Amino acid sequence: MNKSTKWVQLAASATLLTALVFPAVAGAAGQPVALLNPAAAQAEWNSYVKQQYGITFAKTVTRDEFAKALAKISASTASIAEKEAAAKSFLPEVKAGTTKLVAWEAISAAVKAAELKELAYTYKEDKLAASLKKAGLTYKKDGALTLSAAQELAVAIDTGLVSASTLSSLKTDGEVTADLANQLLGKVAEFHGKYKNYLGTTSEESIYGKLAQAWNESQLIKAGALQDLVDKGLKQNLITGYNLKDAAFDPHFDPERTITYGHSDIVHAIQLIGLLKSEGIDAKVQFEPKTSAFIYLKEWGEPVQTDDYQVVQIENGNFIAYAKEYDLSFEFASVEEKKRFQPLVLQYAKKDDEDMTGLLKSSWWQPLYHSRTELADYPVITNNVLKQGRFVVQSFSLNDQSAKVIEGFKKLDSKVEVESYKFWVDQPFYNYLIGEYK
C-alpha cells in the first residue's frame, strides 16, 4: 500500500459520512407493538403520538381535540384548515354544542381516516357478529349502533386498528380516554406508513440477511437541484462535506431511546448487531441509505470509481467524491439500555492503533454515532439541514460555525431554508471536528 493510498483510506474512514463544516450525529422495545403486552403496547402508542406530533390529552378527549389530532396525522397535503374540516367530517353528526366524544365515534372516525370504510361496509351480518364477538360485543338491529357503525367497529378489530382487549374493557358509548385516542392515532399513522419504520430487531435471526439485502438494494442517492446547491458550497469551501439521505427511510423512533450510527461497510453493521445481541441488548434496527460527499484532493492520486464510489472533477483540479454509506438507527428498550451502547463501541469498534486487534471489521479511528437527546460524555454539535421533497442534506458543524454555514447557503440561494439543531455526538468524532487525528 503506497502512502497516498493509505492516506486516502484513512481520510475516507474519517470523512465519508461526516460533514465537517468550516467557513472558507432483551427488551420489549425490540418487538412489534402487536406482540407487546397491553401496558407496554399502550406506552408505545402514547410515546409515539407525543414525540412525533406533540399531541397530549387530558384524561378524556373532546370531539374537537380528537379531530385536530387526526388532522395532524393525516397523510394529505391539504392546508391545516382543510385537514381539520376533513377530520371533523369523519365524526358522526351530533347536536350543536356537543363536545363529548364516545368510543364508537372515535373508532368510526379512525376507520375513515385510515381509509378502511369501504372494507368495513362489505361485512355481512354473520361476519360482523364473529368479528364483534372477539371483543365481547354484539350487534342488534334495534340497538344503539347503526349497521355502519357496527361494521366500522368490526373492521377496526380485524385490522388491528383497535385491539379486541381494548374494546372489551370499555363501553362503546363511554367517553374516549387519552389511551384509546393515542392507540387510534398511532394506528392511523401506521396505516399511512408514518409509524415506526424498521427492518427488524437485534434479536431476530433474520436481521442479518435483511440488512445485507437492504444494502444490496441501496445505491448512490442523487437529489438534483438540492445537491447542485450544496456541491457549490463544497467548491467554495463553505463546507468540506455533507451527507444525503432519503426521508422515506426515517425510522420515526423515540429520540429519548435512539442512537444513530453511521458507517460504509455492511459487514461492520452486521457484526455490530451481532455484538449487541451477544451482550443481551435488544433494539429495533432501521437501515437508512446514505450518500456522503466530500472533497477528494488531487494529490491523493487518481481515484478508482465503482458503482458505489464516484467522483466528479471540479475547476481547481480536485474532485467531489460521492460514496455509498448507511446509517443504522437503534431504538432501545430504555434510556439505560441506550447508555450501554457507547462502552461497547469504544471497546470493540474504535480503532486506537494501526495494528490493533479484537475489533469489529473496518472499525474507524473516529466512529460516528449520535443522539437527539442529551447523554453524559457526549459533546454537543450542530446539524445544518436542507430539504427538498423527500431528500435531506445534513452538514455537521461545531456550534459556533453554524451561523456562518447558514449564511453561506443563503448567499448561494436566498430562497433556501436551512434548519439547524443541536445534537449529541461521540467524543472521537468531536475530536475529529476540532482537528485531532484520533
Give the tens place of pLDDT for each residue, 333-377: 999 999 999 999 999 999 999 999 999 999 999 999 999 999 999
Of residues 83 and 177, more confidently modeled: 177
- 185 with 256, same domain? no
Q: Let me know whether 51 and 114 are in one domain.
A: yes
pLDDT band at 226 (very low <50, low <70, confident <90, very high): very high
DSSP of 330-388: EEESSHHHHHTHHHHHHHHSB--STT--S--TT-BSS-EEEESS--TT--EEEEEEEEE
Mean pLDDT of 264-285: 98
- Cα 267 to Cα 211: distance, rounded to the nearest angstrom: 10
Residue 86 falls within a domain, yes or no?
Answer: yes
**197 falls within a domain:** no
Q: Find residue 290's DSSP bridge partners.
A: 245, 325
pLDDT at 78: 66
- % of the chain at pLDDT higher than 90: 77
- Residues 97 and 114 placed together within one structural domain of the fold: yes
> 4 falls in which pLDDT band (50, 70, 90)?
very low
DSSP-assigned letters across all residues of 153-203: HHHHHHTTSS-HHHHHTS-TTSBPBHHHHHHHHHHHHHHTT-S---SEETT
pLDDT at 3 over 60: no
Cell of 401: 460555525
Assign 201 a pLDDT band (cuts: 50, 70, 90). very high
Question: What is the Cα–Cα distance from 30 to 313, expressed in whole angstroms?
Answer: 45
Query: Residue 165: what pLDDT?
Result: 86
Only one residue has cell 429495533, namely 284
Nearest to 284 by CA among 402, 199, 396: 199
Side chain identity, residue 133: K
Choose the final residue of a domain: 158, 191, 224: 191
Based on the fold, state whether residues 218 and 184 are members of the same structural domain. Answer: no
Q: Is 140 helix (H, G, I), strand (E, B) or coil?
A: coil
Residues 6+ apart with CB under 8 A from 364: 13, 14, 263, 349, 350, 351
At 232, give phi and psi (nearest 5°). Answer: -60, -40
CA dist 47 and 259 (Å) reads 17
Residues 10, 99 share a domain = no
pLDDT grade for 94, boundaries at 50, 70 and 90: confident
Same domain for 8 and 43, yes or no, is no
pLDDT above 90: residue 268: yes
**Is pLDDT of 121 > 50?**
yes
- Least Cα distance to 261 among 407, 122, 429, 437 occurs for 429
> Are the CB atoms for 288 and 205 separated by under 8 Å?
no
435 in Cβ contact with 391 (< 8 Å): no
- Domain annotation covers residue 198: no
Strands 309-313 and 391-397: unpaired
Kindly tell me if the per-residue pLDDT of 18 is higher than 60.
no
Q: pLDDT category, 435, cuts 50, 70, 90?
A: confident
Please tell me whether residues 174 and 292 are part of one structural domain: no
Mean pLDDT score, 251-255 = 95
pLDDT value at residue 85: 81
In a domain, 209, yes or no: yes
Q: Specify whether 394 is located in the same domain as 356.
A: yes
Q: Return the closest-CA partner of residue 222 out of 4, 414, 30, 388.
A: 388
Is the pLDDT higher at 437 or at 240?
240
Among 360, 338, 357, smallest CA distance to 348 is for 360
What's the confidence (pLDDT) of residue 266?
98
pLDDT of residue 13 exceeding 70, the answer is no
Of 145, 166, 191, which residue constitutes the final position of a domain?
191
Q: Mean pLDDT over residues 90-111, rounded?
A: 88
Kindly tell me if the per-residue pLDDT of 14 is higher than 60. no
* Span 96-122, average pLDDT: 93
Query: Is residue 427, in this structure, part of any structural domain at all?
Result: yes
What would the grid cell of residue 102 be? 364516545
Stretch 102-106: mean pLDDT: 95
Residue 76, pLDDT score: 59
User: Is it the case that residue 17 has pLDDT exceeding 60?
Assistant: no
Of 380, 381, 379, 368, residue with least CA distance to 341:
368
pLDDT digits (tens, 9 = 90+) for 384-427: 999 999 999 999 999 999 999 999 999 999 999 999 999 999 99
Q: Is pLDDT above 90 for 245?
A: yes
Domain enclosing residue 416, as ranges: 3-26+203-433
- Domain's final residue, options 129, 164, 191: 191
Predicted TM-score (pTM) of the model is 0.86
Q: Number of folded domains in the chain?
A: 2
114 plus 146 within the same structural domain: yes
pLDDT exceeds cutoff 90 at 33 = no
> How confident is the model over 254-260, as a mean pLDDT?
96
Mean pLDDT of the region 235-251: 95
For the record, the C-alpha cell of 335 comes out as 434510556
Cβ-contact 268, 363 below 8 angstroms: yes
Q: What pLDDT score was predicted for residue 123?
A: 98
Kindly tell me if the per-residue pLDDT of 35 is higher than 70.
no
Q: What is the pLDDT of residues 128-144, one digit of tens each?
A: 999 999 999 999 888 88
Tell me, yes or no, whether 340 and 256 share the same domain: yes
pLDDT at position 77: 55
Confidence grade of residue 64 (pLDDT, cut at 50, 70, 90): very high
Q: What is the pLDDT of residue 379?
A: 98
CA pair distance 112, 192, nearest whole angstrom: 12
